[in-house]
Amino acid sequence: MGFFDDLFNRSKETGNGREYSLGRFSDAYKPSSYQDIWEQSLLSFENEKYTDSVKLLLEFLLNNEKDNISWKEESEVIRFELLQGSKVVTGLLNDTHFRAEVKIAKTADLNIGLSRKLLERNYLLKFSRFALDENDHILLIFNSYKVDASPNKLYQALKEMATQADKLDDLLIDEFRDLEPINIDHIRPRSEEQKEKQYQYLIKQLEQCFDEIDNGKLNIDQFPGGLSFLLLALNYKLDYLLTPEGFLMDTLEQNHRNYFSNNHGELGRKNNMFIKSFRKILDREKEEIKAEFYDVVSTFGLPSPTPHEVLVQLIDKELGNIQWYKDNNHDAIALAIPGYIVGYSLFSYALPKPDMDLLALFYRITEKDFFTNNAFYKADKLNTKSIKKEIEQIEQEYRNIHPLLEIDPGILDFSNMVNFCETYLIMIKNITLYGEDR
């Protein structure tokens, strides 16, 4: 067994006595039998059994809950629906063609501004293209001759359509108020209580960040790197814990792209762009933000499969920066460094499941304002016994995949939160994951 065996095994995150969905969906965590289905789809296409190839592809695209795709076959025509966030991709395969489309929004007036934005985005697409149907629905469409519809081509085309439409609908409706949402009956609304709690958490976290910037002891002009850690850690934490859609999701993603882009100059300028984007969130109407808190079903994931060694390298590269901030009592920055490592990893990668569960546990321990009834605290202090027990449970859960898996919680320093977070990352770095089974 090894990395790919682990990637095809996933259990749901649980907490506070119920299941919940945090972070970004990844389609990497499927049973290993799905690899056989993919190979069968490729083989069927090579043998010119195109209908069988498409049916096997749709089966391969099923998520673990099997609630994201439905299809039926009538008179050698396959019709299917595929869910990606707030959007529904529909399609068919007949005796000559494969066609898929996704409705993004309904327009009463295709004005110049909207037309230009769609034209600019159309230029970036590789497989699909924008269109307007007879009912004034803005669409993304893709079609192909049946004999050219290989599983690889269809997978990439459907992923492009689904992920682009899912990102675009809320943004267009927010910018162009005459647009109407369409095909959103499948989204799963969160309770008003939950949305209010998440909104209050968002505002509190942003205000705490700005308070540290304005009133903290660190001179951010002299130490822009420390400010970057603070901003990045918050950005990824909000993305993981709140899993927002629309404007807020796009803002957090844009912050990530801007920071790691080479097009925005020196560090101070990137930090200023970050700060401006956070202030825009604070300026946004409360109900507009709460409307972006809802749950969805997805088919395609964005985080890419990544081995444990990449996480080790990130910890090695960044964790050493914590020492100066610890020595000089800049605790907020010191805490932000391991927070950045955890958040960046969860945002960017589909790591082996022991890593993912340990990173998720980091937030469950450190974000006690977000997780109610938190058993990891006792009289406002870290509950050593409870935390070690949870780590041991993670180790036992994945022993069937990694027989040599070893996680040593004995390395943890519970004396204060900074020391705990630092030693927690060192513990993750030092776990034995593959051992001799690689």
Inside any domain, residue 188: no
205 in the same domain as 106: no
Q: Given pLDDT bands bounded at 50, 70 and 90, which one contains residue 264?
A: low
Confidence of residue 14 (pLDDT cuts 50, 70, 90): very low
Q: Tell me how many domains the chain contains.
A: 3
Q: For 171-192, how does the pLDDT look when each residue is reduced to its tens digit (9 = 90+)? A: 888 888 888 888 888 888 899 9
Q: What is the b/e burial string over 159-172, where b = at least 16 CB atoms within 10 angstroms of the residue's CB?
A: bbbbbbbbbbbbeb
pLDDT tens per residue across span 356-388:
999 999 999 999 889 876 789 988 899 999 999
Is residue 297 assigned to a domain?
Answer: no
Q: Indicate if 354 and 413 belong to the same structural domain.
A: yes
Q: Is 15 part of any domain?
A: no
Quote the pLDDT of residue 437. Answer: 39
Assess whether 162 and 226 both reside in one domain.
no
Mean pLDDT across the stretch 243-254?
93
Q: Do 341 and 424 share a structural domain?
A: yes
Would residue 29 count as lying in a domain? yes
In a domain, 92, yes or no: yes
Mean pLDDT of 77-93: 94
Percent of the chain clearing pLDDT 70 (strictly above): 93
- What CATH code is carried by the domain that includes residue 93? 3.30.1460.10
Domain shared by 30 and 170, yes or no: yes
Residue 180 lies in a domain: no
For the purposes of burial, counting CB atoms within 10 Å of the CB of 7, is it exposed (0-12), middle (13-18) or buried (19 or more)? buried
Q: Answer yes or no: do 262 and 139 share one domain.
A: no
Spell out a b/e string for 412-424, using b for 16 or more CB atoms within 10 Å of the CB, else e: beeeebbebbbbb
Q: Is residue 186 a part of any domain in this protein?
A: no
Q: Rounded to an integer, what distance in angstroms lies between the CA atom of residue 92 and that of residue 164?
A: 20
Residue 338: how many CB atoms within 10 A of its CB?
27
CA-to-CA separations, 105 to 167, 172, 219, 223, 432, in angstroms, rounded: 12, 8, 47, 45, 49
User: Residue 365 belongs to what domain range?
Assistant: 1-9+303-438
Q: Which of 129, 145, 175 is the last residue of a domain?
A: 175
Same domain, 310 and 273: no
**Average pLDDT of the chain to the nearest whole number:** 90
Tell me the C-alpha distance between 351 and 175, whole Å: 36
* Confidence grade of residue 412 (pLDDT, cut at 50, 70, 90): very high
> Do 211 and 133 sit in the same domain of this protein?
no
Based on the fold, state whether residues 169 and 262 are members of the same structural domain: no
The answer to whether residue 379 sits within a structural domain is yes
Of 123, 144, 175, which residue constitutes the final position of a domain?
175
- Residue 260: count of CB within 10 angstroms of its CB: 12
98 plus 67 within the same structural domain? yes
Dump pLDDT digits (tens) for 139-172: 999 999 999 999 999 999 999 999 999 988 888 8
List the Cα angle 101/102/104 in 5-degree steps.
145
Whether 137 and 217 share a structural domain? no
HEC-encoded secondary structure of the chain:
CCHHHHHCCCCCCEECCEECCCCCCCCCCCCCHHHHHHHHHHHHHHCCCHHHHHHHHHHHHCCCCCCCEEEEEECCEEEEEEEEECEEEEEEECCCEEEEEEEEEECCCCCHHHHHHHHHHHHHCCCCEEEECCCCEEEEEEEEEHHHCCHHHHHHHHHHHHHHHHHHHHHHHHHCCCCECCCCCCCEECCHHHHHHHHHHHHHHHHHHHHHHHHCCCCCCCCHHHHHHHHHHHHHHHHHHHCCCHHHHHHHHHHHHHHHCCCCCCHHHHHHHHHHHHHHHHHCCHHHHHCCCEECECCCCCCEECCHHHHHHHHHHHHHHHHHHHHCCCHHHHHHHHHHHHHHHHHHEECCHHHHHHHHHHHHHHCCCCCCCCCCEECCEECHHHHHHHHHHHHHHCCCCCCCCECCHHHCCCCCHHHHHHHHHHHHHCCECCHHHC
The pLDDT of residue 265 is 67
Q: Is the pLDDT of residue 16 over 80?
A: no
Same domain membership, residue 43 and residue 136: yes
Residue 19 pLDDT > 80: no
Query: Which of 78-82, 275-279, 313-317, 397-401 is the least confident region?
Result: 397-401
Query: Domain boundary residue among 175, 202, 221?
Result: 175
